[in-house]
Structure 1
């Protein structure tokens, strides 16, 4: 398992021109260990080999996407290689400044003035040519393929997660939620576009004083799919009113079934947590996911 000392040694070995004065771990998520160096560089280290394809996707996509966006995104100036103790590649980029959109100090007035900037960013992203994205190793989904992807997840849930739900009513509600979504052909009518697909508020950086976005990070899940997915994180963090403010300025297509799909995606979090808990055999994550389901169905 990689730690600060190992990460510093890898950086120094790969990039001797980087003189490390300070090194501060930012996060150890499910996929990556992230280190801030000298307060100005960010280095990301994959924690498993199955994370590498997502990083390779970013390496292919971001250089061609960057010139088309008015919002900064990571520019990988450093591409390093591991050794016997850490066998993976890793990347580094100049830190993007700003406050995360989840920052509790942001006022409602500031959020209101940031909504147009988010709408502009999403409009630019969703208008990026899909063919160029495919050339950059991004997977493309038709609406039917998107539906099939969720059908496969439902099969996985029935196999790995639903047997863990001892509460019969909780399991029945979960099955009904998924089957109502998957069996409704009319809602799979969207025009596929390039999406970030993990646009949580912690991945959006802003300057509330100037009402601008200063960065969008963590592009490993980028894909061609349902544009509604890129509004889910905003809704989870800042609520429906804020999301509607962004949508009011959004120049992309909002189809008739947009909110039906959004309502389903907003329920997906506990299921994702439960799947991760089941695969990792982590009882704490499973328990948290089950409580998340209970809370969701109580609302």
Structure 2
């Protein structure tokens, strides 16, 4: 156990002497801005890794405290221990891996789609005025048309040196519609999750249902298409189209979601190029990039099984 872990344990002991610390698991790889301690699968503590990252912990606590009366899915009941530490209830479940989703039967996949769609609909339709009165701010992921154009220009300057002609043209085809359409990023701001990736969607294997949503550090006002785009990026557009039965998605919103899904990989490579230029790889993490490919060993899809029964 290193010095930071000892320090974390001492803080937990001093604040929560009734907690049994015989089983404590430290996870310092999943959080981008914080270290995590899981105590007896009962409580989860987050410790800000940097001085500036404490803002994310406080934002998560504020957002969850506000939205828990508006959504049905379980949320981590976050308590602010101090400005750099939060505590929340442990929610049973594992990340909603795409392989796990695709190996599930048709009914399970549809139930998951309905749960996630209902959650997003409930989140995105929370009255804006009520959220403003609760001092909820803008998501870190929220950008205007001008900000996106500047971001894309910077990104291209940093990564094109490392791209083949094929990749350059691939990227151009993603960016050009955004440049050509001055109203591409016209949307009504709503409350968004801001980081709705599979590791923040917990799945309970015994009940075959989504057991909770976590990871609200980037939540705030923004484009609803951003949340949908993260789902397209990781779980696929076909899954999102199934969700649209329960949460209708307009063509314009779907196009923005596709853009966010496409561009996320290039934004990650932009960060890698920054690491190369500064030789600072302290925050380097290798991502698992899902593709629209079925899991190894899959012989028949859930859709083919349903079709064969007709």
What TM bracket, shorter-length normalisation? 0.7 to 0.9
Q: Residue in 1 aligned with 2:186?
A: 189
Task: Name which of 132, 148, 155 aligns with 1:134.
Answer: 132
Task: Name which of 149, 154, 157 aligns with 2:155.
Answer: 157
Q: Distance in 1 between matches of 2:247 and 2:3?
A: 41
Q: Distance in 2 between matches of 1:287 and 1:126?
A: 30
Aligned pairs, how many?
280
Give yes or no for contact 2:33–2:49 (8 Å, CA) kept in 1.
yes
Q: Residue in 2 aligned with 1:85?
A: none
Q: Residue in 2 aligned with 1:268?
A: 263
Matches within 5 A, 1:247-258: 247-250=244-247, 254-258=249-253
Matches within 5 A, 1:25-44: 25-28=26-29, 29-44=31-46
Give yes or no for contact 2:61–2:79 (8 Å, CA) kept in 1.
no
Q: Distance in 1 between matches of 2:253 and 2:167?
A: 26
Unpaired segments ≥5 residues, structure 2: 292-310
Instruction: Identify the structure with the greater helix proportion.
Output: 1
Unpaired segments ≥5 residues, structure 1: 82-88
Q: Distance in 1 between matches of 2:10 and 2:179?
A: 49
Moved more, 117-126 or 202-211: 202-211
- CA deviations on 1:170-210 (whole Å, 9 max, x unpaired) are 34543553343133124333322111011001101133554
Residue 114 (structure 1) aligned with residue 142 (structure 2): no
Q: Residue in 2 aligned with 1:84?
A: none
Q: Distance in 2 between matches of 1:2 and 1:126?
A: 42
> Is the partner of 1:248 in helix, strand or coil?
coil
- The 3 A distance-change label for structure 1 pair 242 and 8 is same
- The 3 A distance-change label for structure 1 pair 18 and 100 is same
Where does structure 1 differ by over 6 angstroms across 4 or more consecutive aligned residues?
Answer: 283-289
- The 3 A distance-change label for structure 1 pair 255 and 191 is farther
What is the root-mean-square deviation in Å for CA atoms of aligned residues? 3.2
Give yes or no for contact 2:233–2:262 (8 Å, CA) kept in 1.
no
TM-score when normalising by structure 2: 0.77
Moved more, 69-78 or 192-201: 69-78
Moved more, 149-158 or 237-246: 149-158
Q: Residue in 1 aligned with 2:82?
A: 80
Give yes or no for contact 1:204–1:213 (8 Å, CA) kept in 2.
yes
Q: Residue in 2 aligned with 1:241?
A: 238
Q: Distance in 2 between matches of 1:180 and 1:90?
A: 43
TM-score when normalising by structure 1: 0.80
